[in-house]
Chain A
Amino acid sequence: MTQSQTQTTDQIPAMIKLENVSKSFGDNAVLKGVDLQIARGTSMVIIGGSGTGKSVMLKSVLGLIQQDSGRIFVDGNETGSGDRDAFLARFGMLFQGAALFDSLPVWQNVAFRLLRGSLKRPRDEAREIAIDKLRRVGLKADVADRLPAELSGGMQKRVGLARAIAADPEIIFFDEPTTGLDPIMSGVINELIREIVVEMGATAMTITHDMSSVRVISDNVAMLHGGKIRWTGPVSDMDASGDPYVEQFISGSAEGPIESVR
């Protein structure tokens, strides 16, 4: 395995750390001992083919899926211990299909966390914050009262992004942020994610197989293949990784060590 550590990773303590994490579904071993560190305030993009367990890895960190073995640390604390609400309050997540609540108008989706639970604010204030966050992702205030089903895919993604950042989280996860969008909209969402992550100083973890996202969003890249991290390093080293798996993935070639029928 080619391993290249960045300067930043060595100096800044890890915000997210996975140690030998494994997960199987029945006979299907998806993760077979994943080791990964994401430094505080950096943006890590996980690449890998469909069905290689990228989503499983991300959901394991959040506790949506329980790993079979291995340990996951967030800010030095092992996940699964301590107050779950306080733990989740540090995260924001953009889901692949946006996962907006279709019974609620857009602003209540964005302000969901601010309308209930430990971060509850007065309704007017929550609405103002929601509209502010909608503006931040390039949507006008008039979408606030519409239902998610009335929006296009790109607009839904933006609303999902606004919801993910509504409570100013320290850690943001992006699950395939550009899937299903046209190239221009993909570019817009990528730029937006990069800007927001930099501006908020958040730690970001993105999973994608869209190479244009990787180049815009990431500080560091990790490739997941065969249930393990195959290669990790700064995005600037990615093109000269010397790893045939990474090279094949970047070039999108059908020829190479990654079997094309999966």
Chain B
Amino acid sequence: MTPFALLARLGAAVLGLMASLGRITLFTLSAFSHMVRPPYYAREVLNALIQVGWMSLPVVGLTAIFTGGALALQIYAGGARFNAEAVVPQIVAIGMVRELGPVLVGLMIAARVTSSIAAEIATMKVTEQIDALVTLSTHPMKYLVAPRVLAGLLTVPLMVGVGDIIGIMGGYLVSTKSLGFNPASYMINTVNFLAAHDIYTSLLKGAAFGVIATVMGCYYGMQSGRGAQGVGRATKSSVEAAAVLILATNFVLTGVFFSI
């Protein structure tokens, strides 16, 4: 391949990426504008809150408790090399709240919610249910997309909060039951070390990831091609895009929140 052709291919890829980002941004803005304009579909919102939030709690809790426990073991083993085993409570707290809580909850939501939203909406698209909605005077952005994105925005921060707490509890259980930490001083160290800033940035990350996860599911579902293959491709693309965007956004937000 000539250098020129290589450059052309690179240029086309960058242009394609920019165009997709533009479309996704417009889609997100449209979702938010439908969220604030009537009519409101309360039943759809309630349903989405249950599906996105409540039903995701078990997987979020399990992910967090094991991660917190493993984190405590690692920090203890690593800290022991330079006699710093005592920092376990502080590092578990900061690691869970600042990074692992939001990122892991975000990724679990991408796996669980983004995929199911994309598959559901894509199936509706290929079976003409989206066209049927339009002919029944119902805007798909308002009926299908806005409630799900609103649910992501509202419930994922809550789940990140729950994940943070359960993760810290995982670390606490491992530390007090098998590493010989004193329960009371573990709790005191954790609480004293965490700043309010850590907690609200954690929740803000959750809100951003909730929007990303739900928007990606809806966007790729609505863009789905025909047939079973179209649905499969939409689902795969939505989860890939959501996971990558969540990790990239996390990097940017960490930079904004903690490097100043």
Contacts and interface: CB of A to CB of B under 8 A. Distances in A.
Interface stretch (A2-10, A23-31, A87-95, A202-210): A87-95
A99 B128 CA distance: 6
A99 B138 CA distance: 14
A115 to B, nearest CB: 9
A112 interface: yes
A113 B128 contact: no
Interface in A75-101: 84-85, 88-89, 91-93, 95-97, 99-101
Contacts of A62: 134-135
Contact of B135 (A88, A116, A117): A88
Q: Which of A85, A117, A119 has the most CB of B within 10 A?
A: A117
B137 A99 contact: no
B128 A116 contact: no
B74 interface: no
B6 to A, nearest CB: 27
Interface in A45-99: 59, 62, 64, 84-85, 88-89, 91-93, 95-97, 99
Interface string A143-170: 0000000000000000000010000000
B62 interface: no
Interface string B17-30: 00000000000000
Interface residues of B, number: 14
Contacts of A88: 134-137
B3 to A, nearest CB: 31
Contact of A64 (B39, B129, B135, B138): B135
Contacts of B137: 84-85, 88-89, 113, 117-119
Contact of B129 (A59, A92, A101): A101
Contacts of B127: 97, 99
Contacts of A118: 137
A62 B133 CA distance: 12
A153 to B, nearest CB: 13
Contacts of B134: 62, 64, 88
B116 to A, nearest CB: 12
A116 B132 contact: no
A100 B130 CA distance: 10
Q: Which of A102, A116, A117, A118 has the most CB of B within 10 A?
A: A116
B132 A113 contact: no
A202 B1 CA distance: 63
A59 B136 CA distance: 14
Interface residues of A, number: 24
B128 A95 contact: yes
B39 A95 contact: no
Interface in B115-148: 124, 127-129, 131-138
A97 B131 CA distance: 12
A99 B39 contact: no
Contacts of B132: 93, 95, 99-101
A72 to B, nearest CB: 15
B131 A95 contact: yes
Contacts of B133: 101
A118 B39 CA distance: 10
Contacts of B41: 116
A222 B133 CA distance: 28
A93 B138 CA distance: 14
B222 to A, nearest CB: 14
A133 to B, nearest CB: 14
Contacts of A91: 135
Nearest to B124: A101
A204 to B, nearest CB: 15
Contact of A117 (B39, B124, B128, B129): B39
A22 B39 CA distance: 35
B43 to A, nearest CB: 9
B165 to A, nearest CB: 33
B99 to A, nearest CB: 36
Interface in B127-184: 127-129, 131-138
5 contacts: A62-B134, A84-B137, A101-B124, A117-B138, A163-B136
Interface of B: 39, 41, 124, 127-129, 131-138
Given A88-B137, A118-B137, 16 more contacts: A59-B131, A62-B134, A88-B136, A92-B135, A95-B128, A95-B132, A97-B127, A97-B128, A99-B131, A100-B132, A101-B132, A113-B136, A116-B39, A116-B41, A117-B39, A117-B137
